[in-house]
Amino acid sequence: MSYICVQSTREAIRAPLFFLEAARKTAFPTTNAGIVIAGCYCTVMTRIVAVANQKGGVGKTTTAINLAASVASRGHRVLLVDFDPQGNASSGVGWPRDRVERTIYDALTGEHTLAEVIVPTEITTLFLAPATTDLVGAEIELISADRRERFLADVLATVAADYEYIVIDCPPSLGLLTLNALVAADGVVVPMQAEYFALEGLSALTQTIEKIKAAYNPGLTIDGVLFTMFDARLSVANQVRDEVAKYFGDKIFGESIPRNVRLSEAPSHGKPVLLYDLKCAGTKSYLAIADEFLVRMQSAAPAERGATQ
């Protein structure tokens, strides 16, 4: 008989399936019944990442979709949470408004569980919690609720054990929806364009992150700053990048996302770019970002990696 050990409750739920699969394939010549859960370490944990920047049109949704899809394509189970009433992340992975029956709003109000809201996508390891304009209502209704900043954290907790990464697409504001996302998150990925006005927006965002850390979520970290629609031939782009590097140093992803027409076409086909054009520059750069992100997550200290301990 083989003994397989797990540590925390959340891992205990997931580890048996994980190990049973491995056992069937390789090391353990045993049946399901022959494996006993006893107590040691398993490295699978959930990391919740908010893709946030209050500035509009900087590539948040493009990054949320393609980071989530690229990480999923590396074999990780990923949940993409559309937390913007515009619903662009939903339509961008094949769930336009007219196809969606239940949304993240229904989970926030308790009308449905989040598990009932989640739908599959064309990538077998990528799942979506969709949003529609209904979500505008949440911003108004939550304002007078108790623990109004923790609604998303509470509903994500009900499914977190099923995913290794949860990626939240935030709306272009620092309102109650973004507050909920940043309270629920372990880390923030900040997409930005390399232009002068972006610097002002970045300081507003970092001040907000500091306030949220102090008041609600002390473990919140910046997982990365990502330049989008980047053109290295422009001197202003390089100047802004150098300026941002003074504050964020190696938080800036080594790879930047170039302006690439395939990235803007893919959502109208309801596909992440890697399913639309595997060889284009947009696919290559988001896969490189996903790999860099995964290395960062794997080398982070356990205390910084998700809320499972």
Where on the chain is the footprint of ligand ATP (CB under 6 A)? 56-62, 84, 86, 88, 172, 228-229, 257, 259-260, 263-264
Interface residue list for Mg ion (CB under 5 A): 60-61, 88
Contact by Cβ (8 Å): 84, 57: no
Between 31 and 268, CB nearer to ligand ATP: 268
71 binds, among ligand ATP, Mg ion, none (CB under 5 to 8 A by kind): none
Residues comprising the chain, all counted? 309
DSSP 3-state of 50: strand
The one-letter amino acid at 84: D
Query: What's the helix, strand, coil split of the chain in %, to 5?
Result: 50, 15, 35
Question: What is the closest distance, in whole angstroms, from the C-beta atom of residue 244 to ligand ATP in the complex?
Answer: 17
Separation of first and last alpha carbons in the chain = 29
Q: Which of 87, 105, 106, 107 has its CA nearest to residue 96? A: 87
181 binds, among Mg ion, ligand ATP, none (CB under 5 to 8 A by kind): none
66 binds, among ligand ATP, Mg ion, none (CB under 5 to 8 A by kind): none
C-alpha triplet 158, 159, 160: angle, nearest 5°: 105
- Rounded Cα distance, 56 and 253, in Å: 21
Question: What is the closest distance, in whole angstroms, from the C-beta atom of residue 21 to ligand ATP in the complex?
Answer: 35
58 binds, among ligand ATP, Mg ion, none (CB under 5 to 8 A by kind): ligand ATP
Question: What is the closest distance, in whole angstroms, from the C-beta atom of residue 177 to ligand ATP in the complex?
Answer: 11
Q: Which residue is nearest to Mg ion (CB)?
A: 61
Between 54 and 285, CB nearer to Mg ion: 54
103 binds, among Mg ion, ligand ATP, none (CB under 5 to 8 A by kind): none
Question: What is the closest distance, in whole angstroms, from the C-beta atom of residue 73 to ligand ATP in the complex?
Answer: 18
- Rounded Cα distance, 278 and 25, in Å: 30
* Residue 218 φ/ψ, nearest 5 degrees: -60, -25
Question: What is the closest distance, in whole angstroms, from the C-beta atom of residue 229 to ligand ATP in the complex?
Answer: 5
